[in-house]
């Protein structure tokens, strides 16, 4: 069994250290107040048993809490008092250099908590370490100087989660929809170099990847681009090729028809599309931003974003090539095609592609094949989204989300009266732990709603800290964003303040653990008819709070189904510390993301999506549903059936398949999760027994996007316990 020290180091559990610590406290009191040697050993062994029952690596703080409780149970109150005093004095000393210890353990690559924080970042790489070092300093400054003490305390106790505090000291926002159209059509500036409107599709793709890299280094969240902004350059290339082909043939004295010239030019256009799409895919994957990972990019594929005719047909060509290349995958260091994490793909289901007799149904079949093999694309139903996203003109809108699931609110430009989405962004997120809220209420419904109001007030103040941190930010801090078209065309020295109000940007109230919250309060899952009304009422109250804050501040507060990557583990540890092991509520090393059905609950894919659709409606700031499926490569019809159900019933959903590879033996099936000799969950190749994470490629959907094998123990347990829905 191992434990995690305060520095993040993972070490073997040593019973004798507990015995020695208790002996020291015991020796500090009078003979009459001391425990016997048998009592001391009993304290240590009981603590050891608590550690073993935890089914994860406990940290030092938890062990010391158990020591305190065990001493108290021996009724050695003076010993317990001295032990607590000793802890407190050493805590004061540690606080003066805790950041130093964290950084040093990070540099030595033995900080287990950091290693498991982000499934797409390798903590041994210098650029990742540099980002984490800066993050540790930022978190320390944020905690000591920038946030109110009660917000910090609530964050540390797991009552709320103040997201991305490692970027808070800098005036950075969360995620965005890139206005690629503005930057390509009007030109932009990258690293003080003027970039004019491109004169070909391939050049447009190249510029797009440079824009993506710059943006990824100027914010901490995901960014989305749409292929429709690149499509106009296909026709520019086509006209260029027609002119070139005609000139080439004339030089050779060859007289051919316009039809022949068009055919030759079209072949060159398709080759350029292939090269341009390949450029986007490979550059996004191979680019390393300043935070040490590939840009968190989403590519939106929506046919109805362009007018009928040539542009729509060209968009179909680009989408087809994007899907073909993702089906193929990318090569790893062993020269084997594997599933890349990015760019994430979103494919919009619409009347032109959802039915077998639809004009673009062939694209939908290709998307199904891609999903079966590579887990992407995700699917947005144009039909359902237009029902849920209605702007002030009463018109339903369909548009991309940002990063893993965050959606902007519908917005109409006051000057043009035209809907606007690209060039907008999210200010940040604070998440409310609904499970802690429930457990704190002790099943008293009146107390629950009273506590909800109190904690919502806390979340509101924390969100306003985010907003106020961005206020006054001058455009010079990130010219690519604020001056050169990605989000705005502000002047040098101008602040971004006007973009923070009137619905131009959003700010998100996150929530997590609706399932466990309902289970505690009602005794049943939120899928049970006896639990669903409570869950829906709670969601409505969260939306009502956002509406109140919106009216009060003239800002678009929006309810967001938090993805919880590493936070699911943090919340579970805090819950176990505060409330112990409550069956079905706190007895896992994770809590359920947002409104999702619990991963262990038996439910079929179609019922799950239909049930969760009612919660997507109440989660306008961000939501995604998924179904867990087996290998679907030979069952594309079933994938298409799920896609058809998505179109008719739910706004945004995905299918979770498996896509793994062992570099030691070449096994390309599903790599499994096993328990090693220390009780730790590890990935293991079922063919050769390889457990070296650096010698395998594991791809799993975790939070709406694909991650790799570097998950923490809580998320790993959640993945292990997922049941199939199909």
Positions marked active-site: 174-175, 402, 404, 406, 426, 560, 565, 704
- CA distances to 216, 423, 612 from 595, rounded to whole Å, are 29, 29, 7
Q: Tell me how far apart the alpha carbons of residues 726 and 724 are, in angstroms, rounded to a whole number.
A: 6
Nearest of 616, 680, 679, 677 to residue 650 by alpha carbon: 616
Counting every residue written for the chain, the total comes to 726
Q: Tell me how far apart the alpha carbons of residues 52 and 42 are, in angstroms, rounded to a whole number.
A: 15
- Written as one string, the DSSP assignment of 62-125 is HHHHHHHHHHHHTT-HHHHHHHHHHHHHHHHHHHTTHHHHHHHHHHTT-BHHHHTT-TT--TTS
561 strand-pairing partners: 511
H-run or E-run covering 420? none
In the three-class reduction of DSSP (H, G, I as helix; E, B as strand; rest coil), residue 564 is classed as: coil
Contacts of 89 by beta carbon, 8 Å cutoff, 6+ apart: none
Nearest of 434, 699, 407, 425 to residue 564 by alpha carbon: 434
Q: Tell me how far apart the alpha carbons of residues 182 and 302 are, in angstroms, rounded to a whole number.
A: 18
Taking each helix axis from N to C end, the angle separating 567-579 and 434-441, rounded to the nearest 10 degrees, works out to 10
Strands (E), 182-256: 188-190, 193-195, 223-226
101 strand-pairing partners: none
Q: Tell me how far apart the alpha carbons of residues 296 and 401 are, in angstroms, rounded to a whole number.
A: 13
Q: Is there a cis peptide before residue 343, judged by omega within 30 degrees of 0?
A: yes
Q: Tell me how far apart the alpha carbons of residues 289 and 145 are, in angstroms, rounded to a whole number.
A: 28
Residue with tokens 């498996």: 658
Residue with tokens 């941190």: 469
């Amino acid at each position: 069994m191992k434990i995690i020290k305060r520095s993040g180091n993972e070490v073997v559990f040593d019973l004798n250290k507990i015995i020695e610590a208790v002996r020291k406290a015991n020796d500090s009191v009078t003979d009459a107040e001391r425990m016997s040697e048998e009592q001391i050993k009993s304290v240590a062994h009981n603590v050891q048993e608590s550690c073993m029952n935890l089914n994860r690596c406990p940290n030092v703080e938890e062990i010391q809490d158990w020591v305190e409780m065990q001493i108290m149970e021996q009724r050695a109150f003076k010993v317990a008092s001295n032990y607590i005093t000793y802890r407190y004095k050493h805590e004061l000393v540690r606080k003066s250099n805790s950041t130093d210890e964290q950084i040093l353990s990070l540099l030595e690559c033995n900080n287990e908590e950091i290693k498991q924080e982000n499934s797409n970042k390798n903590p041994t790489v210098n650029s990742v370490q540099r980002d984490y070092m800066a993050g540790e300093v930022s978190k320390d400054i944020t905690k000591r100087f920038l946030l109110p003490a009660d917000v910090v305390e609530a964050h540390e106790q797991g009552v709320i989660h103040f997201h991305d505090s490692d970027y808070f000291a800098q005036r950075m926002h969360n995620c965005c929809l890139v206005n690629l159209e503005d930057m390509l059509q009007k030109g932009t500036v990258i690293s003080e170099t003027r970039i004019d409107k491109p004169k070909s599709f391939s050049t447009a793709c190249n510029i797009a990847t440079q824009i993506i890299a710059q943006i990824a280094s100027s914010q901490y969240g995901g960014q989305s681009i749409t292929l429709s902004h690149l499509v106009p350059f296909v026709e520019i290339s086509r006209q260029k090729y027609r002119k070139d082909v005609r000139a080439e043939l004339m030089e050779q004295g060859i007289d051919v028809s316009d039809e022949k010239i068009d055919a030759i030019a079209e072949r060159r256009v398709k080759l350029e599309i292939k090269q341009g799409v390949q450029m986007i895919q490979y550059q996004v994957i191979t680019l390393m931003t300043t935070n040490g990972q590939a840009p968190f990019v989403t590519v939106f594929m929506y046919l109805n974003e362009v007018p009928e005719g040539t542009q729509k047909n060209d968009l179909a060509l680009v989408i087809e090539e994007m899907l073909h290349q993702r089906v193929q995958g990318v090569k790893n260091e062993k020269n084997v095609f594997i599933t890349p994490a990015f760019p994430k793909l979103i494919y919009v289901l619409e009347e032109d592609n959802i039915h077998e007799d639809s004009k673009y149904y062939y694209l939908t079949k290709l998307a199904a094949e891609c999903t079966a093999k590579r887990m992407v694309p995700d699917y947005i139903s144009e039909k359902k989204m237009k029902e849920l996203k209605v702007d002030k003109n009463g018109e339903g809108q369909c548009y991309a989300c940002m990063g893993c699931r965050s959606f902007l609110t519908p917005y109409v430009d006051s000057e043009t009266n035209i809907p606007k989405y690209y060039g907008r962004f999210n200010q940040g997120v604070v998440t409310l732990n609904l499970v802690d809220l429930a457990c704190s209420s002790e099943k008293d419904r009146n107390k629950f709603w009273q506590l909800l109001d109190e904690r919502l007030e806390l979340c509101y103040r924390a969100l306003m800290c985010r907003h106020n941190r961005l206020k006054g930010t001058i455009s010079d801090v990130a010219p690519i964003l604020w001056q050169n078209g990605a989000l705005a065309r502000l002047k040098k020295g101008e602040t971004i303040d006007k973009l923070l109000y009137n619905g131009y940007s959003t700010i998100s109230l996150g929530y997590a653990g609706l399932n466990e919250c309902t289970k505690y309060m009602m005794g049943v899952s939120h899928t049970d008819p006896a639990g669903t009304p409570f869950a829906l009422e709670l969601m409505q109250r969260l939306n009502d709070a956002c509406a109140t804050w919106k009216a009060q501040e003239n800002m678009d507060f929006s309810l967001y189904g938090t993805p919880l990557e590493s936070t699911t583990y943090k919340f579970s540890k805090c819950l176990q510390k505060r409330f112990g092991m409550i069956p079905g509520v706190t007895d896992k090393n994770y809590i359920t993301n947002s409104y999702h059905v619990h991963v262990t609950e038996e439910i079929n894919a179609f019922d799950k999506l239909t049930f969760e659709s009612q919660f997507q409606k109440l989660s306008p700031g961000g939501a995604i549903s998924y179904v867990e499926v087996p290998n679907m490569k030979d069952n594309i019809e079933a994938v298409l059936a799920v896609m058809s159900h998505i179109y008719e019933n739910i706004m945004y959903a995905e299918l979770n398949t498996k896509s793994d590879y062992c570099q030691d033996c070449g096994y390309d099936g599903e790599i499994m999760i096993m328990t090693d000799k220390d009780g730790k969950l590890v990935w293991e190749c079922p063919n050769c027994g390889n457990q070296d994470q650096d010698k395998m490629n594991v791809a799993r959907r975790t939070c709406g996007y694909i991650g790799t094998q570097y998950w923490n123990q809580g998320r790993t347990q959640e993945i292990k316990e997922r049941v199939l829905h199909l």
